Structure 1
Amino acid sequence: MQEILEYTPILITGTITTIELTLASAVLALIVSFTVGLSRFSRLRVVRVAAVIYLEFFRGTSAIVQMFFMFFVLPLFGVTFPPLVAGILACGLNLGSYGSEVVRSAILSVGRGQHEAALALNYSNYQRFRYVLIPQAIPVMIPTFGNLLIELLKLTAVASLITISDLTFMSQIIRVQTALTLEPFLVILVIYFIIASVLVWFTKLAERKFSKGRHTAAAKEV
């Protein structure tokens, strides 16, 4: 273990890279989730069809293959991304496809009476989603989004295959240079667990906050 401690600087670098990759991918996935999820409710058929094509493509193909395609294949067509950007795009777009279904199902779970009330108030389509449907759907989305966030963290481990210097990549360097296998992988296992625990705590905090606001609003209505 003393030998592993000598590699603390690169483990810290790998941890920072893993966190950056996870958070940036999460932001992209969140944007994609709402964009595609809400597009499924569009009145324009072409928008709905485009959303379904995106969903089925990214959900139906391997995230690793998508990552390889963005990093190794797109340069053949003159489109080149740095490794970290390719990893963010692949992870974010892949998880965004699953997140879009979370958004869609959460909105569908809002009571029919809420839809009818918004229509009775003569709300536009934008106002109906912005002020009625989405605020009530968010507390339903958060637990599943939390699970997807953990899956995203685990997915970032494969980013080492496109030369991103994350935790997994650094552990491989330590293994090659020290001929140790158990120690470096045990260390990054613990680090991944700590990061995941922080993400779970953050998700539960957000869930309590939004649930409290929901209950408060319901109490005021009564």
Structure 2
Amino acid sequence: MNFLIERLPRFLDGAWVTVQLTIGGAVLAFVLAMIFGILGTSEHRLPRAISTIYVEVFRGIAALVLMFWMAYALPIATGFQLEDRFAAILALGLNVGAYGAEVVRSSINAVPKAQVEATVALNFSWFQRMRLVVIPQAWAQMLPTFGNLIIELMKATAVAYLIGVADLAAVAQQLREATGETVVAYSGALILYYLIAQVLIFGMRLLERRANRKLGRSPSGGQGLLSMLRPPTIGTKVGVAK
């Protein structure tokens, strides 16, 4: 216990780097997922082809190999050296974004066709149709899977120390080598990874509840903390966004 207390600042510094990698990778992955996921639903071949190429390429490459390529091969190929932390964020974002794009595409395609046809009959523009009807309903369906992808992304940051990033895994490894306290060093990292994951899970549950309330799928009041922690009901009928 004294070992953990004395070295808590180092663990927290490593945890903060892990959080930065997670947030940076998640933001990049989300942007890429939305762009290529929407392209994947296009009626035209070219946008669909672009989306398919991105998804198949980056979904088929291991995040660690992509991270090594960004950190070590890219400078040789282009002469441009990425900062280690940015290289890790870029690799994780590209990899997880490819999975997210498929989530976005399938969620948009799951919106009832009758509702889309109704917006066409009402002379909505494509942007109005997506913003007012399609995306709000697809968003509620995306969130549970997005939550899983963010957790996987956070856990994948643990390999970033292999390219020199001083994250939580790197701190645990350094303390183990310096003190020989293998069990305690890795136990500290394990606890902090778990706590970070719980914060992410709780945040995603809040977003799920909010998205479902906007669609009229759950009561707007009297939820409470325990209600937020419960998983949303599966199979609820899709409604039109308010």
Offset of residue 4 of structure 1: 3.7
Distance 1:102 1:219, change over 3 A: closer
Matched, 1:182 2:183: yes
Distance 1:197 1:219 in 2: 31
TM norm structure 1? 0.94
Distance 2:47 2:208 in 1: 31
Contact persistence 2:41–2:109 (CA under 8 A): no
Matched, 1:9 2:9: yes
Distance 1:36 1:220, change over 3 A: closer
Distance 1:75 1:119, change over 3 A: same
Contact persistence 2:132–2:241 (CA under 8 A): no
Deviates more, 1:193-202 or 1:127-136: 127-136
Distance 1:21 1:220 in 2: 33
Task: Write out aligned runs for 1:171-210 (5 A).
Answer: 171-210=172-211
Offset of residue 118 of structure 1: 1.2
What are structure 2's unaligned runs of at least 5 residues? 218-237
CA RMSD in angstroms comes to: 1.8
**Deviation string, structure 1 residues 177-211 (Cα, Å, up to 9, x no partner):** 00111111111101111110111111111111110
Residue identity in the other structure for 1:189: L
Offset of residue 48 of structure 1: 1.8
Distance 2:187 2:9 in 1: 17
**Deviation string, structure 1 residues 164-188 (Cα, Å, up to 9, x no partner):** 1000000011001001111111111
* Residue in structure 2 matched with residue 66 of structure 1 by the alignment: 66
Residue identity in the other structure for 1:82: E
Task: Write out aligned runs for 1:117-196 (5 A).
Answer: 117-196=118-197
Contact persistence 2:111–2:134 (CA under 8 A): yes
Q: State the SS of the aligned residue for 1:42.
A: coil
Distance 1:219 1:71, change over 3 A: closer
Offset of residue 44 of structure 1: 4.1
Residue identity in the other structure for 1:95: V
Contact persistence 1:17–1:166 (CA under 8 A): yes
Offset of residue 162 of structure 1: 0.7
Distance 1:125 1:187, change over 3 A: same
Matched, 1:86 2:87: yes
Residue identity in the other structure for 1:142: L
Offset of residue 47 of structure 1: 2.4
Contact persistence 1:3–1:178 (CA under 8 A): no
Contact persistence 1:157–1:168 (CA under 8 A): yes
* Residue in structure 2 matched with residue 35 of structure 1 by the alignment: 35
Distance 2:12 2:161 in 1: 15
Offset of residue 12 of structure 1: 1.2
Distance 2:23 2:14 in 1: 14
Contact persistence 1:36–1:100 (CA under 8 A): yes
TM norm structure 2? 0.87
- Higher relative CO (Cα under 8 Å, sequence separation at least 6) belongs to 1
**Deviation string, structure 1 residues 36-88 (Cα, Å, up to 9, x no partner):** 10111234432221211110011011110000000000001212110110010
Distance 1:44 1:80 in 2: 37
Residue identity in the other structure for 1:100: A
Residue identity in the other structure for 1:68: F
* Residue in structure 2 matched with residue 108 of structure 1 by the alignment: 109
Offset of residue 124 of structure 1: 2.3
Distance 1:137 1:41 in 2: 12
